[in-house]
Amino acid sequence: MTWWGAQAWANQLTLGGLAGWTLPTTVPAVGYNQTGSQLGNLFYNQLGGGGTSITTNHNNNYNLFSNVQDFLYWSSTEWAPNTDGAWHFSTYQGYQEVSGKSSELYAWAVHAGDVSTTAVPLPTAYWLFTSGLIGLLSLNRKKKH
């Protein structure tokens, strides 16, 4: 879809009764390893991609998603020098650059708080992991009884 179509699709999307979806934001910079953008962080840090197609080079988090394409995905960030363009991210090589808004690319909707570009503090991550593990162990124990 075009950039305008992708914006409209994300803004009207409701999944599981949850509205408020948008296209991901990006840090305006051309190149690889742009982990400051939401899609860059998702590609490199959360899904384990890097340098090649996300469909062949990824970690187990990739299995949480379906229909991921080896192509370009729109961001919500316009290109400042010329608003006829907007930033996109390639899930084929992990590269970020600008396309004309009338180009036909894919869209990946995000929800506030779902994709972060900041690290989770270690004590918080440890607490969440431990509480989740305890919950899983208690469920497993209940099934055995």
Looking at the DSSP bridge assignments, the partners of residue 106 are 73
- Residue 32 maps to a domain: yes
- Residue 95 maps to a domain: yes
- Residue 140 maps to a domain: no
- Residue 131 maps to a domain: no
**Is the model's pLDDT at 9 over the cut of 60?**
yes
Output the pLDDT for position 120.
44
Q: Is 62 exposed, middle or buried (0-12, 13-18, 19+ CB in 10 A)?
A: middle
The per-residue pLDDT for range 96-133, each reduced to its tens digit, is: 999 999 999 999 999 876 655 444 444 555 556 666 65
- Residue 107 maps to a domain: yes
For the chain, the domain total comes to 1
Output the pLDDT for position 47.
93
Output the pLDDT for position 52.
86
Which residues, at least 6 apart from 107, have a Cβ–Cβ distance to it below 8 Å? 1, 5, 6, 9, 10, 23, 73, 74
- Residue 59 maps to a domain: yes
- Residue 51 maps to a domain: yes
Output the pLDDT for position 74.
96
Output the pLDDT for position 111.
85
Element housing 90 (H / E): strand 85-90
- Residue 80 maps to a domain: yes
Domain of residue 55 covers 3-119
**Is the model's pLDDT at 89 over the cut of 90?**
yes
Residue, of 84 and 140, whose pLDDT is higher: 84
The per-residue pLDDT for range 26-81, each reduced to its tens digit, is: 999 999 999 999 999 999 999 999 878 999 999 999 999 888 998 999 999 999 99
Looking at the DSSP bridge assignments, the partners of residue 86 are 78, 99
